[in-house]
């Protein structure tokens, strides 16, 4: 069960456009602040947003909704 008002590793990976492994590595080494609850990393949304502003590949959602990050797929007929 997800703690209220915290983001999962998966949600952070989506928000920062990085792999879940990278999120876990950054949590372990302190690059991205995290809380360990029942052997699972959880993240405060303001910490993720602050990091997204400094990470060059970050694509944070405008209103915190994961759907903001879904990009339209390219039409395969237009790809050479």
| Mean pLDDT, residues 40-45 | 96
Per-residue pLDDT tens digits for 12-37: 999 888 899 999 999 999 999 999 99
Q: Let me know if residue 51 belongs to a domain.
A: yes
Euclidean distance between CA atoms 3 and 7, whole angstroms: 8
Instruction: Note down the domain range covering 35.
Output: 1-56
Q: Let me know if residue 79 belongs to a domain.
A: no
Count: domains in the chain: 1
Return the closest-CA partner of residue 45 out of 17, 1, 4.
4
Q: Let me know if residue 41 belongs to a domain.
A: yes
What CATH number does the domain containing 50 carry? 1.10.1660.10
| Mean pLDDT, residues 51-71 | 56
The two tokens of residue 62 are 């405008």
* Torsion angles phi and psi, residue 32, rounded to 5: -120, 115
Euclidean distance between CA atoms 72 and 33, whole angstroms: 31
| Mean pLDDT, residues 56-62 | 53
């Amino acid at each position: 069960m997800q703690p209220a008002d915290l983001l999962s590793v998966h949600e952070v990976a989506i928000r920062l456009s990085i792999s879940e492994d990278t999120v876990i590595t950054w949590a372990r080494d302190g690059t991205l602040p995290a809380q360990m609850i029942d052997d699972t990393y959880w993240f405060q949304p303001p910490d993720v947003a602050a990091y997204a502003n400094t990470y060059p590949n970050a694509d944070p959602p405008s209103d915190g909704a994961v759907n903001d990050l879904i990009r339209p797929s390219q039409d395969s007929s237009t790809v050479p």
